[in-house]
Structure 1
Amino acid sequence: MRRVSGRGVFVAPLLALAMLAFAHCAVPTAQAEDVVVLATDGGGTMTVRGTVLDYRGDGLKIEDHTGVARTFPAARVIDIRTPLSPQAEEAERRFAAHQWAEAVPLYQAARNAETRGWVRLRLTARLVRCLDNLGQAEPAGREFVDVLLAADPNTPYFDVCPLPWLPASPDPSLQQAALGWMRSPHPAARLLGAAHLAAGPHAVEARSTLQALTTTAPKPIAQAALVQLDRRDILAASEDTLRSRERLLRDMPRNVRGGGYYLLGTAWAQRQRWEDATACFMRVVILHDDQYRLAARALAEAVRCREKLSDRESAERLRYELTQRFADTPEGEAARAAP
């Protein structure tokens, strides 16, 4: 019988482990199983497993373990779970912790290393949201227009379009970029550019562009253009118009609903309808806190509404929430400094 030395017994398992580790690292992420959750016609959900081949505005294509590929409408996609690189996983953790500045370079590095085109676009969508939450309107807009829209004019990530909802004057660099977007062939880019230019020297062209989009653009973009026009018009709207707009918002894209409810809140507050205003502002805080800066402003406005109602207990509770959830925003800092 051949005798195996102690050294040989030790080396063989090490070699096997090394080969296993190499094989694990060498397997492309795309080969691992993806899990897609889809909405069904009956109001429920269904789960499909396999390898996602593509995800665009016209549908999601997935191949099962037998090699059969199926395509599902993008509107039915609720969630996609897919293996990510360590950098992307860390970026997701930073995103969940609202550490936008730390997440940005991680998403950029993860995108550069990612081989799957549809995942690169997904990481870009996260990057856009981070930049928008940091108040970096121009970089956020460039990522949205130059990457997401350039790859797919009907992008399924329209919900991260970094539309402005709070009063602001674009600096010269953003103004120049917005002019280019407003004159783009892509309706979503025209929407974004016109939204930034709706006040100022290009206001007439911008409002004309928004008005045209309400009748010529695909439905989500047309709805967004309508609500963007409200940024100036809603304060003069009748109560019937406000109620009508509130009903319309329920069927609008998610990012538009957040901005729309904020605008409705300001309109009700102007009329001293503090309860109605509070309800609108709190919808933003509860349902749209991924629009971080907008949610912080909405919560600050909700505090003011409760103070107007002499509801000191609710005002103090909401002010405390503002200092905890939105501590790094101007609204959070002001709440913390309040006597």
Structure 2
Amino acid sequence: MTDAKTNVSTDRRKLIQASAAGAAALFGGFGFNPLIASAMAKEAGRSEKPLKAAFSNAGLQATWCAQGKQAAEYWGKLFNVDVTWFDGQLDAVKQRAAIDDMASQKWDFVAIQAFGIGTLTAPVNKMIDAGIPVIDMDTLIAPLDTINVLTFLAPDNEFMGASVTQALVNAINGEGTITMTQGALGHTGAQGRAKGFHSVVSKFPKIQVLDEEPADWDVTKVARIWETLLTKYPKIDAAFFHNDDMALAAYKVMQAKGRTETKIGGVDAMPPAIKAVQDGQMYATVRNPSCRIHGGAIIAGVQAVVGGAKTGTDIPKNIVADGPVVTKANADGMLWMEGQFLI
């Protein structure tokens, strides 16, 4: 027979378990009880009336951006927000045209990851001047002291670059050759990752940096660069890439040439990269939490529209979304966690 005390304990335990799952989901994405998600959205200020939001990120060809779109749309449904997407297509000119189009329409709020700093300032200021809350994601639209965005949701790019580079340096015992294949140079995330890379390699005089050519997040450019690098250099001990897509594209070239001895590190910790770490094709990656950034933009936008949240008092101007380094030691757990919550 179950007594009242046991019932209370069981109910409390279920509530704690549900809250834990919900908290992970709030800062992540999917894979949990939809009833809990709906209840959380209501408590967090779900809009009673449908809201219209416009989103854009660098380009849906990139796995990180595609996962972010999925997260934004999911959280949009929870918070009663209809999300319209303006694809940046990994091209600053094409994204500018898309944001000019966005700025010609009326939205309750918008969220943008710029392909490059300063490329979207005019249309974004037009929307801000019209009273539309703008959330900046991942890379600066413009320096924060020059533009009145609601908030800037981003990872610590310098930390990510340094942590993966340090893992690679440790793997080659602090000596040998290393390369860095960069993203778009105008992207503040890429700038931070490069800074992190240099902060580490500068401490190791026995490490020689062979190449730092940018590939602009473009896997086709990566393949061309790495065809040249593998022909030019008979030995490359380690290679740091500004995202996982580029790392895996380079690995295919290495594999075709029988040069898979190079230790490879990337950024984002997307599922294919975590699997590559498990399989030994990549040595390390680091989680850039796309879902927390895009999902967080939905929550911030709704709070601004429904709750009247203001920058600096209710919402910080800069919110850091961090994530761990992933190596073979913790890859199994990270892949499971992403499958459950897309953290």
Normalising by structure 2, report the TM-score.
0.32
* Structure that is richer in strand per residue: 2
Which has the higher relative contact order, 1 or 2, with Cα contacts under 8 A spaced 6 or more apart? 2
Normalising by structure 1, report the TM-score.
0.32
Name the larger-Rg structure: 1
